[in-house]
Amino acid sequence: NAGVTQTPKFQVLKTGQSMTLQCAQDMNHEYMSWYRQDPGMGLRLIHYSVGAGITDQGEVPNGYNVSRSTTEDFPLRLLSAAPSQTSVYFCATSGTMNTEAFFGQGTRLTVV
Amino acid sequence: GNSVTQMEGPVTLSEEAFLTINCTYTATGYPSLFWYVQYPGEGLQLLLKATKADDKGSNKGFEATYRKETTSFHLEKGSVQVSDSAVYFCALRKGTQGGSEKLVFGKGTKLTVNP
């Protein structure tokens, strides 16, 4: 049972580089989301999706893009990395209507 | 909008002490409430949940009761262990038919238990 798989686990980028954080789930959940976790800030929602082909912005969407072409995958793209995007990123999935979320192990990203 | 407020840490206790981490929420209607735990270097795991008023969620000796009248969901454990050292997050989810169903988190409370 893989659950929610995030890759890579660690990444160092130079300012201005682009990259994609991968998230895949095998739970057949419709709802997927990306959070960033920073010290003292808790988890902040970046983007989310309620199903294939549907995405929307969360609390801190600037500098990030997402797409949802399949139920299983929800990649997060950094178009031009900035030091302010240094953070730990978590992908989460959940079923419908008030059910709990399942989290990946996280990607620790450092932008230098 | 929906929001969650939990007590700020860090909290430091001795082994076998009693733990309370306060959590209050603001939401319309009847959200589901959750406590998640994050051990060092790991993702978040569901600790317990409650989906309606007066429900008590429990797991691994932890308990929390959904109090609609006080909009609270305080986490308690009667006797903590060193292995309980982690960051604890209170969260709510208010699903609507065809709606966004976002999960809203508190800022987290870091617990350290000393032997």
The answer, for B69 touching chain A at a CB cutoff of 8 Å, is no
Q: pLDDT tens digit string along A17-48?
A: 999 999 999 999 999 999 999 987 789 999 99
Position B115 confidence tier, pLDDT thresholds 50, 70, 90: very high
Please give the Cα distance from B10 to B40 (Å, whole number): 14
Interval B69-89: pLDDT, tens: 999 999 999 999 999 999 999
**A61 against B103, higher pLDDT:** A61
Closest residue in B to A33 (Cα) is B102
Q: What is the dihedral of CA B68, B62, B82, B38, to 10 degrees?
A: -60
Contact A103 B108 (CB under 8 A): no
* B93–A98 C-beta distance less than 8 A: yes
pLDDT band at residue B14 using 50, 70 and 90 as cut-offs: very high
Q: Average pLDDT in the B77-104 region?
A: 84
- Nearest 5 degrees, angle CA B90-CA A99-CA B99? 100
- State the residue for tokens 């949940």: B49
Q: What percent of chain B has pLDDT over 90?
A: 74
* Structural tokens at position B1: 């909008």
Give residue A8's pLDDT: 96
The tens digit of pLDDT for each residue in B44-66 reads 999 999 998 999 999 999 999 99
Question: What pLDDT is attached to residue B9?
Answer: 84
Min Cα–Cα distance to chain A from B114, Å? 22
Q: Residue range A93-104: average pLDDT?
A: 83
Find the CB nearest B107 among A42, A92, A96. A42
So what's the pLDDT on residue B97? Answer: 54
pLDDT of B95 reads 64
Residue in A31, A40, A58 nearest the CB of B101: A31
CA pair distance A20, A79, nearest whole angstrom? 9
Name which of A33, A42, A105 is nearest B42 (Cβ-Cβ).
Answer: A105
Distance in Å, alpha carbon of A98 to nearest chain B alpha carbon: 5
Distances (CA, A) of B66 to A28, B4, B39, B48, B100: 29, 13, 24, 11, 23
Q: What is the pLDDT of residue A1?
A: 60
With cut-offs at 50, 70 and 90, classify the pLDDT of residue A16: very high
Which residue is closest to A31 within chain B, CA to CA?
B101
Nearest Cβ partner for B49 among A31, A100, A104: A100
